[in-house]
Structure 1
């Protein structure tokens, strides 16, 4: 009869579910890093994140601090507050905001690449662009391309290149015909 209970010792269940001290420290550092990132966000982006009032107040206080020691203590305090709350929705909201920023930056890089290709490659790049965007104004694009190329050759301010960029930005957003 006693043999049935020998397999389960009282300490076994605790060992399976306990988290190591190192893991707790890694999680605490991750929350501290998230707190630092929250402090660096602008007000509009921060408003989109579902923060409890105490964390929001702590983040706003940290934004006003300029002394390194005080700021470091405040960031530690934010990390402590975050450990007491469920940080998953906060992390998810932060990632969605930063993913949106990354997508915007990638889109702008794509437009810059098209602008540079149009200026350097000329008609071959224009043909490729027009195949992707048949509603583009070919004559206006060629005029902007010629002006931008001439500005580069003469080392003038890139006014036409900026205009070309803005036109491409509107074209890729579907606002230009």
Structure 2
């Protein structure tokens, strides 16, 4: 008597169980739900199909529990056609409770601290790491000098905050998946 996997030509080890498929579909629905909670400007930066963009925009119109559940199933179905890894990475960076967000934020803080250390080579290192910041070289220098003056005079760190925002713009442009910029403020 022959084995089932030999008769059909399928390896049972390679196939996903029905439970595994359901878990993956629920994960896509959950990711879709997280996408509905993003700002429109954040959604614009994601590489989504037009159908999914429309479905995400329509999700807020569904108020009945059953209708919303059906709609989120539809969003989950549309999510199968997307680059899930890039979308997940972007959503994780926006989620302040994720480790990816914390790492990203700490990296920007380290750059700010390095720039404010008083070492002129740190600005060049930043410009080497983020070539897009070269256009803001003068603004970076001014903010660094202003922040140093504020620190010496024991004033509130307004320039250091502005410097951090400018660093954030350039780091986000270079490092967020797909070059997405972070609109979180």
Scaled to the shorter chain, the TM-score interval is: 0.5 to 0.7
Bigger RCO of structures 1 and 2 (CA < 8 A, at least 6 apart): 2
Gaps of 5+ in 1: 1-5
Equivalent residue number for residue 148 of structure 2:
146
Equivalent residue number for residue 88 of structure 1:
81
Report the aligned-residue RMSD.
Answer: 4.7
Equivalent residue number for residue 183 of structure 2:
none
Q: 1:76 aligns with which of 59, 69, 76?
A: 69
Structure 1 Cα separation of the partners of residues 164 and 77 of structure 2: 48
Structure 1 Cα separation of the partners of residues 15 and 170 of structure 2: 57
The two structures have a TM-score, normalised by structure 1, of 0.54
The two structures have a TM-score, normalised by structure 2, of 0.52
Q: 2:60 aligns with which of 60, 63, 69?
A: 63
Gaps of 5+ in 2: 95-99, 129-133, 174-185
Equivalent residue number for residue 32 of structure 1:
29
* 1:89 aligned counterpart, secondary structure: coil
Matched length:
153
Does the CA contact (< 8 Å) of 1:62 and 1:74 recur in 2? no
Structure 2 Cα separation of the partners of residues 86 and 171 of structure 1: 29
Question: What are the equivalent positions in structure 2 for 1:121-160 lying under 5 Å apart?
Answer: 122-123=117-118, 126-130=119-123, 132=125, 140=142, 143-151=145-153, 153=154, 156-160=155-159
Structure showing greater radius of gyration is 1
Quote how far apart the aligned CAs of 1:147 are: 1.3
Structure 1 Cα separation of the partners of residues 166 and 21 of structure 2: 52
Structure 2 Cα separation of the partners of residues 35 and 92 of structure 1: 13
1:7 aligns with 2:2: yes
Quote how far apart the aligned CAs of 1:86 are: 6.8
Structure 1 Cα separation of the partners of residues 42 and 143 of structure 2: 36
Structure 1 residues 80-127: Cα deviation after superposition (integer angstroms, max 9, x where no partner)? 224655713253563475488779x93x754432333454xx44xx14
Which structure is higher in helix share?
A: 1
Quote how far apart the aligned CAs of 1:50 are: 0.5
